[in-house]
Amino acid sequence: MARNHQLPKWIGFLQAIEARFAQSPYEDPTGQLFKLTQRGSVREYLAQFEALANRITGLSPSSLLSYFIPGLEPDIRREVQALQPMMLVHATGLARLQEEKLQEHCKGPWSRSTFNPSPSSSTPLSVALPTPPLPLLPSPAKPLPLPIKRLSPDELASR
Protein backbone atom coordinates (compact mmCIF):
# COMPACT_ATOMS: atom_id res chain seq x y z
CA MET A 1 0.00 0.00 0.00
CA ALA A 2 2.92 2.33 0.74
CA ARG A 3 4.44 1.68 -2.71
CA ASN A 4 1.12 2.59 -4.29
CA HIS A 5 0.90 5.77 -2.18
CA GLN A 6 -2.25 4.62 -0.39
CA LEU A 7 -0.81 5.39 3.08
CA PRO A 8 0.33 8.99 3.10
CA LYS A 9 0.47 9.27 6.92
CA TRP A 10 0.73 7.13 10.06
CA ILE A 11 -2.97 7.62 10.79
CA GLY A 12 -3.76 6.14 7.37
CA PHE A 13 -1.64 3.09 8.19
CA LEU A 14 -3.49 2.57 11.47
CA GLN A 15 -6.85 2.86 9.74
CA ALA A 16 -5.79 0.33 7.09
CA ILE A 17 -4.65 -2.13 9.77
CA GLU A 18 -7.92 -1.70 11.64
CA ALA A 19 -9.99 -2.12 8.46
CA ARG A 20 -8.10 -5.31 7.61
CA PHE A 21 -8.06 -7.03 11.01
CA ALA A 22 -10.90 -5.52 13.04
CA GLN A 23 -14.10 -7.35 13.77
CA SER A 24 -16.71 -7.14 11.03
CA PRO A 25 -19.84 -5.21 11.98
CA TYR A 26 -21.81 -8.21 10.68
CA GLU A 27 -20.32 -10.67 13.18
CA ASP A 28 -21.89 -11.20 16.59
CA PRO A 29 -19.38 -12.81 18.94
CA THR A 30 -21.71 -12.29 21.92
CA GLY A 31 -24.44 -14.30 20.21
CA GLN A 32 -21.94 -16.96 19.18
CA LEU A 33 -20.63 -17.16 22.75
CA PHE A 34 -24.18 -17.52 24.09
CA LYS A 35 -24.91 -20.39 21.66
CA LEU A 36 -21.57 -22.18 22.07
CA THR A 37 -21.84 -25.75 23.38
CA GLN A 38 -19.28 -28.39 24.19
CA ARG A 39 -18.81 -30.81 21.30
CA GLY A 40 -15.47 -32.34 22.28
CA SER A 41 -13.29 -32.21 25.34
CA VAL A 42 -13.50 -29.50 28.00
CA ARG A 43 -10.13 -28.24 26.74
CA GLU A 44 -11.52 -27.77 23.21
CA TYR A 45 -14.66 -26.07 24.52
CA LEU A 46 -12.59 -23.72 26.69
CA ALA A 47 -10.36 -22.78 23.72
CA GLN A 48 -13.42 -21.92 21.60
CA PHE A 49 -15.00 -20.07 24.52
CA GLU A 50 -11.89 -17.98 25.17
CA ALA A 51 -11.44 -17.17 21.47
CA LEU A 52 -14.97 -15.73 21.34
CA ALA A 53 -14.85 -14.08 24.78
CA ASN A 54 -11.62 -12.26 23.88
CA ARG A 55 -13.43 -10.58 20.98
CA ILE A 56 -16.02 -9.03 23.30
CA THR A 57 -15.31 -6.01 25.45
CA GLY A 58 -17.15 -5.19 28.64
CA LEU A 59 -18.29 -8.66 29.72
CA SER A 60 -18.34 -9.00 33.49
CA PRO A 61 -16.80 -12.07 35.16
CA SER A 62 -20.27 -13.21 36.23
CA SER A 63 -21.51 -12.94 32.63
CA LEU A 64 -18.59 -15.04 31.41
CA LEU A 65 -19.45 -17.66 34.02
CA SER A 66 -23.13 -17.51 33.00
CA TYR A 67 -22.18 -18.17 29.37
CA PHE A 68 -19.61 -20.90 30.12
CA ILE A 69 -21.50 -23.29 32.40
CA PRO A 70 -24.67 -23.80 30.28
CA GLY A 71 -22.55 -24.76 27.27
CA LEU A 72 -20.95 -27.69 29.06
CA GLU A 73 -21.98 -31.27 28.31
CA PRO A 74 -24.93 -32.14 30.62
CA ASP A 75 -23.13 -34.64 32.89
CA ILE A 76 -20.31 -32.18 33.43
CA ARG A 77 -22.59 -29.14 33.72
CA ARG A 78 -24.68 -30.70 36.52
CA GLU A 79 -21.61 -31.36 38.67
CA VAL A 80 -20.15 -27.90 38.06
CA GLN A 81 -23.46 -26.20 38.84
CA ALA A 82 -23.85 -28.22 42.03
CA LEU A 83 -20.55 -26.82 43.34
CA GLN A 84 -21.57 -23.21 42.49
CA PRO A 85 -18.22 -21.78 41.34
CA MET A 86 -17.94 -18.01 41.66
CA MET A 87 -15.22 -17.49 39.05
CA LEU A 88 -14.61 -18.80 35.54
CA VAL A 89 -11.22 -20.23 36.50
CA HIS A 90 -12.90 -22.35 39.19
CA ALA A 91 -15.64 -23.50 36.80
CA THR A 92 -13.10 -24.57 34.18
CA GLY A 93 -11.08 -26.48 36.78
CA LEU A 94 -14.19 -28.24 38.05
CA ALA A 95 -15.25 -29.09 34.49
CA ARG A 96 -11.86 -30.65 33.78
CA LEU A 97 -11.99 -32.67 37.00
CA GLN A 98 -15.50 -33.92 36.20
CA GLU A 99 -14.42 -34.89 32.70
CA GLU A 100 -11.50 -36.88 34.16
CA LYS A 101 -13.86 -38.50 36.66
CA LEU A 102 -16.22 -39.57 33.86
CA GLN A 103 -13.32 -40.94 31.83
CA GLU A 104 -12.03 -42.96 34.79
CA HIS A 105 -15.52 -44.17 35.65
CA CYS A 106 -16.02 -45.37 32.09
CA LYS A 107 -12.78 -47.36 32.10
CA GLY A 108 -14.17 -49.79 34.68
CA PRO A 109 -14.52 -53.47 33.63
CA TRP A 110 -18.31 -53.41 34.01
CA SER A 111 -18.85 -50.52 31.62
CA ARG A 112 -19.47 -50.63 27.92
CA SER A 113 -19.16 -46.88 27.54
CA THR A 114 -18.27 -44.86 24.47
CA PHE A 115 -16.97 -41.86 26.42
CA ASN A 116 -13.59 -41.08 24.86
CA PRO A 117 -13.17 -37.42 23.87
CA SER A 118 -10.06 -36.71 21.86
CA PRO A 119 -8.53 -33.35 20.97
CA SER A 120 -9.51 -33.82 17.32
CA SER A 121 -13.03 -35.01 18.06
CA SER A 122 -15.86 -32.87 16.77
CA THR A 123 -18.71 -35.03 17.99
CA PRO A 124 -20.60 -34.38 21.21
CA LEU A 125 -19.53 -36.24 24.29
CA SER A 126 -21.69 -39.19 25.12
CA VAL A 127 -21.63 -41.45 28.11
CA ALA A 128 -23.33 -44.81 27.83
CA LEU A 129 -24.79 -45.95 31.09
CA PRO A 130 -23.96 -49.45 32.26
CA THR A 131 -26.41 -52.20 31.47
CA PRO A 132 -29.02 -52.77 34.19
CA PRO A 133 -28.16 -55.41 36.77
CA LEU A 134 -29.49 -58.92 36.38
CA PRO A 135 -32.48 -59.92 38.51
CA LEU A 136 -31.72 -61.41 41.93
CA LEU A 137 -33.71 -64.59 41.41
CA PRO A 138 -33.92 -66.47 38.13
CA SER A 139 -37.28 -66.71 36.44
CA PRO A 140 -38.87 -70.18 36.46
CA ALA A 141 -38.20 -72.16 33.30
CA LYS A 142 -41.85 -73.24 32.97
CA PRO A 143 -44.76 -71.25 34.26
CA LEU A 144 -46.49 -73.11 37.06
CA PRO A 145 -50.08 -74.11 36.31
CA LEU A 146 -52.67 -72.22 38.28
CA PRO A 147 -55.36 -74.33 39.96
CA ILE A 148 -58.60 -73.60 38.19
CA LYS A 149 -61.85 -74.87 39.55
CA ARG A 150 -64.49 -75.23 36.95
CA LEU A 151 -67.92 -74.28 38.18
CA SER A 152 -71.09 -75.95 37.02
CA PRO A 153 -73.92 -73.77 35.74
CA ASP A 154 -75.83 -74.31 39.03
CA GLU A 155 -72.81 -73.10 41.07
CA LEU A 156 -72.46 -70.05 38.84
CA ALA A 157 -76.14 -69.17 39.27
CA SER A 158 -75.92 -69.46 43.06
CA ARG A 159 -73.04 -66.99 43.30
CA 70/CA 47 separation, integer angstroms? 16
- Of residues 132 and 100, more confidence is placed in 100
Inform me whether the pLDDT recorded for 123 exceeds 60: no
Kindly list the domain boundaries of the chain, sorted by start residue.
29-107
**Band of residue 2 on the pLDDT scale cut at 50, 70, 90:** low
**Which residues, including other chains, have CB under 8 Å from residue 114's CB and lie 6 or more apart?**
126, 127, 128
Average pLDDT over residues 109-131: 48
Q: What integer pLDDT is reported at residue 109 of this predicted model?
A: 54
Q: Which fold has domain 29-107?
A: 1.10.1200
Q: What integer pLDDT is reported at residue 111 of this predicted model?
A: 46
Inform me whether the pLDDT recorded for 75 exceeds 90: yes
**Band of residue 21 on the pLDDT scale cut at 50, 70, 90:** confident
**Band of residue 108 on the pLDDT scale cut at 50, 70, 90:** low
